[in-house]
Amino acid sequence: MTAATSLFHVESPYLVRNLRDKIKVRKSELVMQIASGIASDHADYKHRIGVLEGLDEALQLIDEMEKNERN
């Protein structure tokens, strides 16, 4: 293992945790925007819903990666 990969491996759990936190914050922001009716039209609304779905999928992938690392 090189020094770079070793360093990344040590920091990896922190990076994943920070990424998860940032995704959750962004999800909350989008939910609030949608709930407040900020979408300018149906296409904008659909886009925001699609982004939410993508963020949900990213969180699922992070969970799967962590589960695989533990096993």
pLDDT of the residue at 65: 86
pLDDT of the residue at 1: 47
pLDDT tens over the chain, length 71 residues? 454 445 455 556 678 889 999 999 999 999 999 999 999 999 999 999 999 999 999 999 999 988 888 87
Contact in structure between 34 and 45 (CB atoms under 8 Å): yes
pLDDT of the residue at 66: 85
29-48 burial: b if 16+ Cβ within 10 Å, else e: ebeeebeeeeeeeeeeeeeb
Measured in whole angstroms, the distance separating CA 3 from the mean position of its chain's CA atoms is 28
